[in-house]
Structure 1
Amino acid sequence: MSTTDTGIWTTIREAPVAVKALLVGVFVNKLGWFLQVFLVLFLTSSQGFTDVQAGTALGVYGGGSVIGLIIGGSLSDRLGPRNAVMISMFGMAGFVLAIAYVPSYAAVLVMVGLAGAVGQFYRPASAALLTELTPENRQVMIFAVYRLAMNLGTTAAPLIGAALLAISWDLLFIGEAIAALAYAAVAVVALPRRKTAEVAEASTGSEPSAAPEAVKGGYGAVLKDGRYVLFLLCMFINAAIYMQYLATLPLHMKAEGLSTWWFSAVVALNGFIVITCELLVTKVVQHWEARLVAMTGFVLLGGGLAFYALPGGVAIFVIGTLIWTLAEIIGGPTMFAYPGKAAPKPLLGRYVGAAHAMFGLGSALGPFIGVWIWNTAGTAVWLWCGIAGAVGVVLAHFGMKRVDVEEPVVDTTPATEPLPSESA
């Protein structure tokens, strides 16, 4: 098997069975991604709760998701990615079903928070396993494929959910539980019981990546990595300003007298370009230094959002969206592949979990910050996004170390003793 070709189809075709299973599993799981989309509508229309109560529940879900990403990283390191995925999906199925039947608002909040937390355990585990099982020179591409699977499932989910709730709300929750159980089944059947750093290093003939004393302390060890902390701030800023297209952009377009149709059109434009073009762009930028990719992404993201501050009507919104969408397809796969390249192997799950958690925290706080600035300063919010993008450029420059991508070194000498994975 050749590992020098980093093209799209070769990367997918030659990926291990477990990697292909992860791609299928996350796609199926995202097809059932109904809870966050329809939670407010369910609580207000079906259960009779107020708008404030429904919004609070959605906030609890978001907070639980951030906590779940942190816990998921630790579970992946301690129990292995396969077990973390199984715990996540079996737990998610149970908590989602419980939301439809619990008797009180307080109980709803508890179930929603648990569903948000447990339902995110799988993400650091899946990303860690993709990193461990994919040659380093193909990791950016495989993360682009992973993002495509997530985006396709997420795009289709609202349509499927609308069809299910037209029949009954119960069917909507059952559908999400079934999707979670399908991913759990994939984990049971296709994911390796444990892929440890030592096994990975033995199979490639490489030396251990970190001394034992350098990887003790859990998330404390992550926070002691000063450069990586700067990268985590990059993830927060990236998410916080990226979310303005959902939080502040519709308010701005409405204030300009544009209909909801125009907002839907620019959002659809973003989704179409990401789904159709990200893999092709990744084929080129995967060979760039990760730091350069991230810095380019921040320039385009901050610049595209700052472009909205210009006068010009619909054309400004379309051009600005094209600019920051280019940032997404250039920077997205590299930003999410980088934690696996920067992490000591025994802390891989925690490094990945910390990055996902900071992105989730930025996604949760970004809309509040953006709307507050909009209400206070109007279109100056877009200039602040541009400044935040510039800060991201600086943080990426100093926080993302150079990672040289080398071809895997395969030991071709006969093994005198079986590897740990073979003797299990």
Structure 2
Amino acid sequence: MATSTIAAPRTGLFSDLPRTFWIVAAGTLANRIGTMVVPFLVFFLGAQGVSTSATGTIVVALGFGGAAGSVAGGWLADRIGPRSALIVGLVAAPAALGALYVAPTIALMTVAAVLVGLTGKLYPPAANALVAASVTGERRTRAFSLMHWAFNIGAAGAAAMAGFLAAHGYALLFAIDGITCLIFAVIAAMFLPRVATARRANERGGYGVLFADRLMLAFIGLDLAQEIVYSLTEYAIPLSIRLDNLSPAVFGAVAVVNAVLVVLLQPVLYPRLARFGRLQVLAGAWIVVGVGIGTTGLVHTPVGYALSAAIWSVGEVAAGIVAGGIAADLAPAHAQGRYQGAMIWAGSLARLAGPALTTFLFAYAGPGAVWWTAALTGVIGALLLARLMPALRTRLATPA
């Protein structure tokens, strides 16, 4: 039975988790370490002589592809099974990366960027669905917390390696990205079990099951708003640093602070937060992230930016501990892939909406409006989540 509390692990954070989980987690970690093309896409395009405006178009195309890919990946996981969907995505991704690397024109680069975004988001819903199918109860919450941890360890490793490798040619970034996908695909094909799809006889397999779930739609809407707030760390904060006439190295330091804190704090905070209900933890995390990002408007020095990053990083850790497990427990077994795809879609859409919101507010309302919006969104989101808590607790206490 899935409960609304986290529940402290009885045997340790890393104990009592099945083989399927460890294969998916290890593959996710390795694949994330190898994900180097997207973070350095702007620099790659610049080296190809692509103009600033065309670069913006290609980056937006990548985002649209990612949003579509998460939806398609969730549908595919429920249609052909999460293991098969995982393999399809991992095999398709290197082909799309290769197409982007050799594309000779802006138009073809744009098409290839859509494919890179699409294929790169095909397999995460399947990976999450495999985790959800392999564990239940407290172990499911713990498993998704560790998946978030592995993802961030991989991101930190990628950031540490990518700059050095890029200096020796962007071909290395594309090659490593593609090879890690194929290695994960081979491991999945050899060692992951087939998970039978649980489609209902009268169920067509589309997203109607999700659209009929008003509680899940409300939760996704709240999560989308918070994802947009978090996306400000990737665009609004570096823009603020630039406007303060500080070096790009300051943003690099912010990224390091965030990565180190997430990697170090996640296993430490999990048992300490286990005494609280996970919905309360999530609401508190949204407030900390929103207010933490909002404090960016108060700082104008490298130390100030680092301290602000420390605040919202703690909120990110707390949210990462509980959010994935909540979505998995809300999903019926026959639609686990689509529910996970919808959650990943929210993150992808936020990466499109965040820069647009930042640009609009900076231009027409001033930087302060960005930071007040972040803080208020976090607080209001937590209050709205509190309104949903009775209904969410009832669903989370009932096996899907």
**Pairwise same-fold verdict (TM > 0.5):** yes
Counterparts of 1:262 and 1:314, CA distance in 2: 6
**Aligned: 1:90 with 2:79:** no
Contact persistence 1:306–1:382 (CA under 8 A): yes
Contact persistence 1:8–1:283 (CA under 8 A): no
Q: Which of 204, 212, 220 lines up with 1:224 in the alignment?
A: 212
Partner residue of 1:74?
75
1:49 counterpart SS class = coil
1:404 to 1:358, Cα distance in 2 relative to 1, 3 A: closer
Instruction: Give the greater-gyration-radius structure (CA).
Output: 1
Contact persistence 1:229–1:399 (CA under 8 A): no
Contact persistence 1:232–1:355 (CA under 8 A): yes
Contact persistence 2:129–2:336 (CA under 8 A): yes
Partner residue of 2:334?
346
**TM-score, with length taken from structure 1:** 0.84
Q: CA RMSD in A?
A: 2.6
The amino acid of 1:363's aligned partner reads R
Partner residue of 1:279?
267
1:35 counterpart SS class = coil
Counterparts of 2:166 and 2:301, CA distance in 1: 37
1:16 to 1:389, Cα distance in 2 relative to 1, 3 A: same
**Aligned: 1:304 with 2:292:** yes
Partner residue of 2:3?
none
Give 1:54 deviation, angstroms.
Answer: 2.0
1:246 counterpart SS class = coil
Contact persistence 1:95–1:114 (CA under 8 A): yes
1:153 to 1:252, Cα distance in 2 relative to 1, 3 A: same
Give 1:307 deviation, angstroms.
Answer: 2.5
Contact persistence 1:137–1:407 (CA under 8 A): no
Residues 256-265 or 370-379, more deviating: 256-265
Unaligned runs of 5+ in 2: 1-5
The amino acid of 2:124's aligned partner reads R
1:95 to 1:259, Cα distance in 2 relative to 1, 3 A: closer
Q: Following superposition of structure 1 onto structure 2, how do residues 130-279 of structure 1 map, counting pairs within 5 Å?
A: 130-197=131-198, 218-279=206-267
Counterparts of 2:74 and 2:103, CA distance in 1: 30
Counterparts of 1:118 and 1:128, CA distance in 2: 17
1:176 counterpart SS class = helix
Work out the number of aligned pairs and report it.
391
Counterparts of 1:9 and 1:104, CA distance in 2: 56
1:14 to 1:135, Cα distance in 2 relative to 1, 3 A: same
Deviation digits for residues 101-120 of structure 1 (CA, Å, limit 9, x no counterpart): 23332222222211210121
**TM-score, with length taken from structure 2:** 0.89
Contact persistence 1:161–1:172 (CA under 8 A): yes
Q: Which of 349, 369, 372 lines up with 1:380 in the alignment?
A: 369
Partner residue of 2:314?
326
Contact persistence 2:224–2:346 (CA under 8 A): yes
Partner residue of 1:119?
120
The structure 1 segments of at least 4 consecutive aligned residues displaced by more than 6 Å after TM superposition are: 404-408
1:14 counterpart SS class = coil
The amino acid of 1:172's aligned partner reads L
Counterparts of 1:270 and 1:94, CA distance in 2: 32
Contact persistence 2:79–2:205 (CA under 8 A): no
Residues 328-337 or 315-324, more deviating: 315-324
Unaligned runs of 5+ in 1: 199-210, 409-424
Partner residue of 2:28?
26
Partner residue of 2:393?
402
**Aligned: 1:390 with 2:379:** yes
Contact persistence 1:135–1:407 (CA under 8 A): no
The amino acid of 1:19's aligned partner reads F
The amino acid of 1:383's aligned partner reads W
Deviation digits for residues 307-353 of structure 1 (CA, Å, limit 9, x no counterpart): 33336755653443222222111112311221110011111111111
Contact persistence 1:140–1:337 (CA under 8 A): yes
